[in-house]
Amino acid sequence: MDRNTADAFDLRARGAQAGEYPNGVARAMGPIDHSSLVHLLDETAEKFPGRTAITCMGRSMTYGDLVASSAAFAGFLQSLGLRKGDRLALVLPNTLTFPVAFAGAMRAGLIIVCVNPLYTAREMEHQLRDAAATAVLILENFAHVLQQVIGRTAVKHVVVTTIGDMMGVKGALLRSFIRHVRRAVPKFSLPGHYTFRRAIARTLPFLPVDVSTDDIALLQYTGGTTGRSKGAILTHGNLLSNIVQTGQWAELAYSARGRPLQVTYICALPLYHIFSLTVNLFTSWKQGGHSVLVPNPRDIPALVKILKRRPWHFLAGLNTLFNALLQNDEFHKLDFSKVKLVMGGGTAVQGAVAERWQAVTGTIIYQGYGLSETSPVVTANPFNAPRFSSSVGLPLPSTQIAIRNEFGADVERGEPGEIYIRGPQVMQGYWRNPEETAQAFSHDGYFRSGDIGKMDKDGHLYLVDRKKDLILVSGFNVYPNEIEEVAVSHHGVFEAAAIGVPDEKSGESVKLFVVLRESGLSMKDLSAHCAKHLTAYKRPKEIIVVESLPKSPIGKILRRELRSAHCPLEKSHPS
């Protein structure tokens, strides 16, 4: 089955969207008007050459500049002997280099491999080897990690960039500060490497490459059942489909709150993550928008200054980001009158956080659901809804959802089961991994998400939890999200994470880790709060107070790290 063609899906099949659907949004996806992401960008640049496309750390770039710089980088890549289908790894945070390099690599027909720059040597080596990347573009701050592993990879060409690249005089000052004052660039040795500044300064001839919707654009690495990350194969057609799907949904926000002449996107999440890459960067290109890149979203005071600097319209984030912003006093003083859409994804947005957000900003967080394997957006709440919903919404146009049991049979509406997904945004498979690909798809072409959810009578999807995070207490299913939601609803709890631990009597029991807002909170009071809202077998048997919870670079709480810990981080409190 061609997963790039919306017409390939029978929307009348069981599991397709049912019940109410937003007025003005077609159930079927509209046409893909571009042959590739490069075609999309070039068309926008032709319409708006002088319009600001990207801003980072006070330096801006127009659409015309973006196209010209990306073409220069494409010519440089071809001069290295790189050809269509070769893999280029981008090991970059949110800087001006990222969109230029991404667009340039696509222009040259390369397959892009986004690598988390905070990876350890072991993690970086696995991804480079698995993708068989022959070229790497890396920020100098992390080049010493590449040095440790490059000899065991297929990498032949290395380009090193700096925080200050493409920023003029300010960039030179910033480089000096990062290197000599902050001392944030460890020594490295990568003989024969190129600098990004020289790469794009050279006026090398570029031979246009024919890139179509069927060509692979991206290998987006994601966690696997074996514990080793796998590369989800996303074509230009997959990504363009999701841009069209989310674009149809976004019209609901503009019809309800007005359409700005140019939409300003705050890119607080890293672009190497598919959520930010699609809903921020690609969608901005489609609309001729302005993307404001945030290099370090964990620096909340700096992020608040960025939000204060100019009117903004769109913010995508995770529960942890929204929660952290709400703790900042200066954030409460911002003007939110221009905001058109705030979208939550990655992990479930907790109701208590959404309520506080609306009270402070007057705006609603609209939850969505997606995965690396689905480009990423699968469902979203209607962006004109009057209030926050604990649902993750309805399937996007031309997207089918089925909820199935462990035998692959559909369950009754309202019953939990594994979420199965079919649509033009679903990946082609896992890179060079036919076994995992076969396990990931059902006999009728649905992608098996590994997430547990349920669907109500109107077709709204509710996330219950990750299948692998399920806790089994005396034969009863306990979902960590529910425990955590109850815990953070207590005014004294800032964050929470629940895991299952072995128990002689019940098989497993619930262990709860909490970060407190105030040190004086009694564990007795917290236990009583949990007992009030949870039936007996769901209640935490042990509560552990910690200063912080382990998180991924985009802010997802990592329960697996808590499970792997051999001893408590702090004193434990029997519940």
507-523 confidence digits (pLDDT tens)? 789 999 999 997 789 99
Strand partners, 195: 160
Kind plus residue range of the DSSP H or E element containing 440: helix 434-440
Reported confidence tier of residue 120, pLDDT bands at 50, 70, 90? confident
Task: State the chain's mean pLDDT as an integer.
Answer: 91
What would the DSSP string read from start to end of 449-464? EEEEEEE-TTS-EEEE
Sequence-distant (≥ 6) Cβ neighbours of residue 184 within 8 angstroms: 141, 178
Any idea what DSSP says for residue 177?
I
Q: Helix, strand, or coil here: 554?
A: coil
The two tokens of residue 40 are 């999309």
Residue 355 or residue 536, greater confidence: 355
Sequence-distant (≥ 6) Cβ neighbours of residue 425 within 8 angstroms: 238, 239, 241, 242, 245, 374, 375, 376, 377, 378, 396, 399
What's the longest Cα–Cα distance across the chain?
A: 71
For position 196, what pLDDT does the model report? Answer: 98
Q: How far apart are CA 361 and CA 368, in angstroms?
A: 20
Reported confidence tier of residue 227, pLDDT bands at 50, 70, 90? low
403-439 confidence digits (pLDDT tens)? 999 999 999 999 999 999 999 999 999 999 999 999 9
Question: Which of 18-27, 311-320, 555-564 tops mean pLDDT?
Answer: 311-320
Q: Which residue has the tokens 């659907």?
A: 21
Q: How far apart are CA 270 and CA 373, in angstroms?
A: 17
The two tokens of residue 218 are 């991206």
Lowest mean pLDDT among 5-19, 270-284, 491-505: 5-19
For position 320, what pLDDT does the model report? Answer: 85
Lowest mean pLDDT among 163-172, 304-313, 497-506: 497-506
46-95 confidence digits (pLDDT tens)? 999 999 999 999 999 999 999 999 999 999 999 999 999 999 999 999 99
**pLDDT higher than 70, residue 502:** yes
For 563, counting Cβ atoms within 10 Å of its Cβ (0-12 exposed, 13-18 middle, 19+ buried), the class is middle
- With a pLDDT cut of 90, the percent of the chain lying above it is 79
Q: Helix, strand, or coil here: 5?
A: coil
3-state SS, 14-43, equals CCECCCCCCCCCCCCCCCCCCCCHHHHHHH
274-327 confidence digits (pLDDT tens)? 999 999 999 999 999 999 999 998 899 999 999 999 999 999 999 889 999 999
Q: Mean pLDDT over residues 131-149, rounded?
A: 98
What would the DSSP string read from start to end of 57-122? TTEEEEHHHHHHHHHHHHHHHHHTT--TT-EEEEE--SSTHHHHHHHHHHHTTPEEEE--TT--HH
**pLDDT higher than 60, residue 225:** no
Residue 317 or residue 555, greater confidence: 317
Q: What own/partner pairs with CB < 8 Å and gap ≥ 24 does 7-14 have?
A: 8/424, 9/398, 9/400, 9/422, 9/423, 9/424, 11/398, 11/400, 13/400, 14/402, 14/410
Residue 167 or residue 504, greater confidence: 167
For position 503, what pLDDT does the model report? Answer: 82
Cis peptide before 376 (omega within 30 of 0): yes
The two tokens of residue 43 are 């068309």
Q: How far apart are CA 165 and CA 167, in angstroms?
A: 5
Lowest mean pLDDT among 173-187, 236-250, 468-482, 555-569: 555-569
Strand 394-395 and strand 377-380: the pairing is antiparallel
Sequence-distant (≥ 6) Cβ neighbours of residue 146 within 8 angstroms: 91, 124, 136, 138, 155, 158, 188, 190
Reported confidence tier of residue 574, pLDDT bands at 50, 70, 90? low
- With a pLDDT cut of 70, the percent of the chain lying above it is 94
Task: Give me the domains of the chain, ranges plus CATH numbers.
Answer: 37-211 (3.40.50.980), 236-402+451-464 (3.40.50.12780), 470-574 (3.30.300.30)
For 189, counting Cβ atoms within 10 Å of its Cβ (0-12 exposed, 13-18 middle, 19+ buried), the class is exposed
Q: How far apart are CA 451 and CA 463, in angstroms?
A: 7
Q: What angle do CA 123, 127, 131 make, to 5 degrees?
A: 170
Reported confidence tier of residue 489, pLDDT bands at 50, 70, 90? very high
Reported confidence tier of residue 13, pLDDT bands at 50, 70, 90? very low
Any idea what DSSP says for residue 193?
P
User: At 366, which amino acid appears?
Assistant: Y
Dihedral of CA atoms 356, 358, 362, 365 in degrees, nearest 10, equals 140
**pTM of structure:** 0.86
For position 265, what pLDDT does the model report? Answer: 98
For position 546, what pLDDT does the model report? Answer: 94
Strand partners, 493: 516
Reported confidence tier of residue 567, pLDDT bands at 50, 70, 90? very low
Number of Cα atoms under 13 Å in the Cβ half of residue 349: 32
Any idea what DSSP says for residue 297?
T
Strand 157-161 and strand 135-139: the pairing is parallel
Beta strands in 334-486 (DSSP E): 341-344, 365-370, 377-380, 394-395, 400-404, 417-422, 447-455, 461-466, 471-473, 476-478
Q: Mean pLDDT over residues 448-472, rounded?
A: 89
Residue 355: closest CA among 489, 495, 183, 494: 489
Residue 556 or residue 368, greater confidence: 368
Helix pair 351-361, 319-326: axis angle to 10 deg? 50
The two tokens of residue 554 are 């985009």
Q: Mean pLDDT over residues 186-210, rounded?
A: 94
98-113 confidence digits (pLDDT tens)? 999 999 999 999 999 9
